[in-house]
């Protein structure tokens, strides 16, 4: 708990690897005690993907943290749709969320409803990070609902070229992170690193559209997957929550950095120890939306 920035970090607290329905009330009791001590002033909560967050935990946070601005909740598979929707209605100050892919939302009638609730009740929502697969369904829903999104991170996601092209419709987007992303040219082709996709004709068109139609301040992607350990692990299908890469992000406001570090957006340290600086292409776009280094 970092009292100076009203943040609660549970990113080191994790359940057993095999999920069984026999856990003690430890997490719920801990949440109840912390929330009672800070009198509703928590603005940021981070959960480890292996924590078995249940309805009772979300209900505690919803009632005790009305001023929540940032939520990192990578695993939703034990949280019901009703509970999540009710919680979102109370988080009217929510600005940033890290959420899992749609397949981690079992029993939800339609994930679109959750996103619609975020748009309706969280008027300041501007930052989204997705963990897992950014499917065309997810992309279409995000485009429909989050047109005013400012920051989108699909770091280490698997997606399709069509899903990436849909991002062009997010005209208010300022920061786009596609680092270490694997992309299929279509739904039947094998996934490949984004840098390889950008070498194809369709990929070059996508790149031009992203850079010309969006007023991006930052467009991050991995330029050389051969020398990048993150990309190689993605290609080998070895990306898991065990390697803790879910904490990292090239976008400062999303990077959790070292285990016990958590801070507000203005003070967030950029920790990039897991990749050399030359492995990530960091494009600064000028007022005319031209790419500074003249790519494509």
Q: Digits of tens for pLDDT over the chain (296 positions)?
A: 444 457 665 554 454 333 444 444 577 887 888 888 877 788 999 988 888 888 999 999 999 999 999 999 988 888 999 999 999 999 999 999 999 888 767 777 778 889 999 999 999 999 999 999 999 999 999 999 998 999 999 999 999 999 999 999 999 999 999 999 999 998 788 999 999 999 999 999 999 999 899 999 999 998 887 888 888 888 887 555 556 778 899 999 999 875 433 333 332 222 222 223 333 444 433 333 333 333 32
Domain C-terminal end among 125, 152, 184 = 125
Strands of 158-160's sheet in order across = 133-134, 158-160, 182-184, 192-193
Report the CATH number at residue 77: 3.80.10.10
Domain end point (choices 63, 94, 125): 125
In this structure, the answer to whether residues 60 and 164 fall within a common structural domain is no
Verify that 37 and 164 share a domain, yes or no.
no
**85 and 43 housed in the same domain:** yes
77 and 101 assigned to the same domain: yes
C-beta atoms surrounding 147 within 10 Å: 13
Q: Where are the alpha helices (DSSP H) in the chain?
A: 26-38, 55-64, 81-90, 111-121, 136-145, 161-166, 194-197, 201-213, 229-235
How many domains does the chain contain in total? 2
Residue 171 has which token pair?
């005209």
Q: Are 98 and 256 in contact (CB under 8 A)?
A: no
Spatial CA neighbour of 53 closest among 118, 8, 112: 8
Shared domain check, 112 and 226: no
Do residue 224 and residue 87 come from a single domain? no
Single pTM value for the model: 0.79
Do 114 and 224 fall within a single domain? Answer: no
57 and 76 fall within a common domain: yes
Question: Are residue 120 and residue 143 in the same domain, yes or no?
Answer: no
Domain shared by 185 and 107, yes or no:
no
Q: Which of 100, 125, 150 is the last residue of a domain?
A: 125
Q: Could you tell me the residue range of the domain that residue 264 belongs to?
A: 133-296
């Amino acid at each position: 708990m970092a009292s100076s920035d009203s943040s609660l970090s549970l990113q080191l607290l994790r359940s057993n690897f095999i999920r069984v329905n026999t856990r003690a009330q430890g997490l719920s009791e801990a949440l109840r005690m912390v929330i009672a001590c800070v009198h509703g002033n928590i603005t940021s909560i981070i959960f480890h993907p292996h924590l078995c967050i249940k309805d009772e935990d979300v209900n505690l946070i919803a009632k005790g943290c009305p001023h929540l601005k940032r939520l990192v909740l990578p695993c939703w598979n034990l949280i019901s749709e009703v509970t999540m929707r009710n919680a979102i209605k109370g988080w009217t100050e929510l600005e940033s969320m890290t959420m899992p892919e749609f397949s981690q939302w079992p029993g939800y009638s339609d994930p679109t409803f959750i996103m619609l609730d975020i748009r309706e009740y969280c008027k300041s929502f501007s930052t989204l990070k997705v963990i897992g697969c950014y499917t065309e369904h997810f992309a279409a829903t995000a485009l429909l609902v989050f047109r005013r999104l400012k920051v989108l991170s699909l770091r280490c996601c698997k997606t399709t070229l069509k899903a990436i092209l849909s991002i062009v419709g997010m005209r208010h987007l300022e920061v786009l992170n596609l680092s270490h992303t694997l992309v299929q040219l279509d739904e039947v082709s094998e996934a490949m690193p984004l840098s390889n996709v950008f070498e194809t004709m369709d990929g070059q068109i996508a790149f031009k559209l992203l850079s010309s139609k969006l007023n991006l301040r930052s467009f991050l992607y991995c330029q050389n997957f051969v020398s990048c350990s993150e990309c190689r692990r993605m290609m080998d299908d070895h990306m898991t929550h065990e390697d803790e890469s879910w904490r990292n992000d090239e976008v400062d406001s999303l990077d959790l950095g070292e285990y016990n570090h958590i801070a507000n957006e203005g003070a967030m340290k950029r920790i990039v120890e897991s990749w050399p600086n030359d492995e990530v292409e960091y494009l600064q776009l000028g007022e005319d939306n031209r790419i500074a280094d003249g790519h494509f």
